[in-house]
Amino acid sequence: MDEISQEASNLFQQVRKPVGLLIDEIGFRKKGNMSACVTRQYLGCVGKVDNGQVAVAAGLCQGSVFTPIDMRLFMPKEWEEDMVRRRKCNIPQHEKHFSKPAMAQKMIEDAISKGIDFDFVNFDALYGNTVSLLGFLDSKGIDFIGDIRSNLIIHFEYDKEESCSVSQYFNYLSDQDFEHINIRQSTKGELKAYFHYAKVQVLADGKWLDLILLIRKDTDGKVKFSLSNMHDDQIIELAEKQGQRIFVEQMFKEGKNQIGMADYQIRGWNGFHNHMALSMLAMLLIAKIKMEHKDEIYTTATVRKLICLCIKSKMENPKAAIDIIFEQHSRYIRQLRRDGFFSVQNLR
């Protein structure tokens, strides 16, 4: 994945606008309990707890062009000591359970060590409410804007003893405290929302962080809260950067629907990451075509269809297709027997 991330970084440096490093997790529904790190857990793809795998992902985004550059399978605590399943899935011994925010911090550190260029980090409330992650980013001088939950406690510089939850602070505000801002162009025209900006402090591991609270109120009544350490940015710049979060959802949607990111029948640890690397490579190619031909406004679906037209498949030959199908089936049966899931009688 190192080559993919470096090539993506080079691609995004061709533009002048700020490049965001988007952090989020992606879920894959699975049946059974033998795929690497599968368990019942919250899956964003279905919006509830279900059986599946979860990976933490990082992607670069500039405007409406985006591509993933890193993806790592999340290991639930129960898998750390399950040597039977670890052995069957070929999970390396050094791989351990880490929280998703801890994984995100390591991915950000690795991106910096590899020379990946980005201007700010953007993440959702799972990471934003982890104040230790905010403290790490601020101490390293890494700009960020992250969503937070409404129950996060904030303080005020003029009186550290005075504190309240973000939702309580929001309830004090009137409509006159918000500014109407045009965030970006969308498929339905200009996307606008109301924003409020305030300087606050958050206590992280015994240290006070001087941050900016950004409150976004959409026209449909939805409210989002974010924290940032980008003090030099104007409210409109923060609003635009906060709005980049939508593209991480689009990145996963296109990865699954157009690239086949979720179309795998692999149980092993290495197989999962190899499949994700191929998916990321395909998305990088699409991002490159989009950026090079931005005047033509290519969509991911259009690019995929154009590429498919240029690929000659063995399946076009009926005899070759039959041979491939039987070979794949035989390989599948051998895998089942080797893993001991079925006896010979059950396979008949």
Give the pair of three-digit tokens for residue 267.
């149980």
User: How many other CB atoms are there within 10 angstroms of residue 114's CB atom?
Assistant: 14
Q: Which of 12, 18, 44 is nearest to 242 (CA)?
A: 18
**257 and 281 co-located in one domain:** yes
Structural domain harbouring 42: 2-307
**324 and 231 co-located in one domain:** no
Q: 3-state DSSP call for residue 247?
A: helix
In angstroms, how far is CA 88 from the centroid of its own chain?
28
pTM of the model: 0.85
Give the pair of three-digit tokens for residue 290.
């989009």
**96 and 238 co-located in one domain:** yes
| The one-letter amino acid at 35 | S
CATH number at residue 235: 3.90.350.10
**237 and 335 co-located in one domain:** no
Give residue 344's pLDDT: 47
**319 and 239 co-located in one domain:** no
Count of structural domains, the chain: 2
Residues 3, 111: Cα–Cα separation, whole Å: 12
Give residue 341's pLDDT: 58
Q: Which of 345, 256, 317, 285 is nearest to 55 (CA)?
A: 256
**291 and 320 co-located in one domain:** no
**250 and 339 co-located in one domain:** no
**Cβ neighbourhood burial of 291 (10 Å; 0-12, 13-18, 19+):** middle
**187 and 336 co-located in one domain:** no
Antiparallel, parallel or unpaired: β 179-186 and 189-204: antiparallel
Give residue 312's pLDDT: 73
Question: Which residues in the chain land under pLDDT 70?
Answer: 15-16, 158-160, 185-189, 295-298, 314-315, 339-348
**192 and 223 co-located in one domain:** yes
Instruction: Specify whether the CB–CB gap between 227 and 166 falls below 8 A.
Output: no
**249 and 328 co-located in one domain:** no
Give the pair of three-digit tokens for residue 87.
């052995």
Instruction: Specify whether the CB–CB gap between 193 and 179 falls below 8 A.
Output: no
Instruction: Specify whether the CB–CB gap between 286 and 68 falls below 8 A.
Output: no
Q: 3-state DSSP call for residue 167?
A: helix
Give residue 187's pLDDT: 62
**291 and 343 co-located in one domain:** no
Give the pair of three-digit tokens for residue 324.
């491939």
**38 and 166 co-located in one domain:** yes
